[in-house]
């Protein structure tokens, strides 16, 4: 029995206890928003070496696929040469071998070849896509970590004074 005067008693009706459901709904909406943002930024997230292992595991469980890993700086040039083809005047043979030193498989890189004269002036520069330097054969699948490969293809000599060359992966 309550002995307090009536003016001291709280006579307001008690609000319904829906707070738990509201917090649950807000949490689910926040989770849905985070999932949408992650989906929209999936290429950038998959390019992070810190997030890639977890995303790979999540995609294996969910049945999704990640974009191919792209780390041109992880390709190591093992050998390279540009030589004149004796039986074909004005033609140079480009030969190179390189290895994928990335932690994950990655597609064949784009190759930028720069040719220069004895003074270092650029005489020609060209970007070769994998289909260009695999000579029209279908481009093989991604290069596994540690996998090395060799390429060889011919190009037209841009000037007879070519004496230097440079390779870059992109």
Nearest C-alpha neighbor of 42 from the set 58, 31, 27, 29: 58
Q: What is the number of domains present in the chain? A: 2
Same domain, 95 and 165: yes
Question: Has residue 117 been placed in a domain?
Answer: yes
| 50 pLDDT higher than 60 | yes
For 3, phi then psi, to 5°, come to: -100, 10
Question: Has residue 6 been placed in a domain?
Answer: no
| 13 pLDDT higher than 70 | no
Angle at 36 between CA 34 and CA 39, to 5 degrees: 110
Residue in the block written with tokens 């597609």: 107
Tell me what pLDDT residue 167 has. Answer: 93
Q: What is the CATH number of the domain that holds 99?
A: 2.60.40
The chain-wide mean pLDDT, for the chain, equals 87
Residues 131-155 have pLDDT tens digits of: 988 877 788 899 999 999 999 999 9
Show Cβ contacts of residue 149 under 8 Å, excluding neighbours closer than 6 positions: 97, 98, 99, 108, 140, 143
- Over residues 54-75, mean pLDDT: 88
Tell me what pLDDT residue 137 has. Answer: 78
| 4 pLDDT higher than 80 | no
Domain with 23, as residue range(s), is 19-62
d(CA 52, CA 106): 13
Same domain, 53 and 92: no
Residues pairing with 125 in the sheet: 114
- How many Cα atoms within 13 Å fall on the side-chain side of residue 30? 6
Same domain, 126 and 58: no
d(CA 160, CA 166): 17
Same domain, 160 and 81: yes
- Over residues 160-165, mean pLDDT: 88
Tell me what pLDDT residue 15 has. Answer: 62
Residues 17-45 have pLDDT tens digits of: 667 788 888 899 999 998 888 778 877 88
In the chain, what is the straight-line distance between the N-terminal and C-terminal CA atoms, in Å? 83
Read off the tokens for 156: 């037209």
Coil, strand, or helix at residue 28? helix
Tell me what pLDDT residue 169 has. Answer: 96
Same domain, 92 and 152: yes
Tell me what pLDDT residue 148 has. Answer: 96
């Amino acid at each position: 029995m309550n002995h307090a005067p009536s003016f001291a008693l709280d006579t307001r009706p008690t609000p319904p206890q829906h707070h738990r459901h509201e917090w649950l709904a807000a949490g689910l909406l926040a989770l849905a928003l985070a999932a949408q943002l992650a989906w929209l930024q999936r290429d950038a997230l998959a390019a992070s070496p810190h997030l890639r292992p977890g995303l790979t595991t999540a995609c294996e469980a969910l049945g999704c696929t990640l974009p191919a890993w792209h780390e041109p700086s992880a390709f190591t040039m093992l050998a390279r040469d540009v030589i004149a083809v004796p039986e074909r005047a004005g033609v140079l043979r480009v030969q190179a071998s390189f290895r994928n030193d990335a932690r994950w498989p990655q597609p064949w890189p784009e190759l930028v070849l720069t040719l220069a004269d004895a003074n270092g002036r650029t005489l020609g520069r060209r970007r070769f896509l994998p289909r260009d330097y695999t000579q029209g054969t279908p481009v093989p699948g991604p290069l596994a970590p540690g996998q090395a490969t060799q390429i060889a293809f011919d190009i037209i000599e841009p000037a007879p004074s070519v004496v230097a060359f440079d390779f870059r992966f992109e």
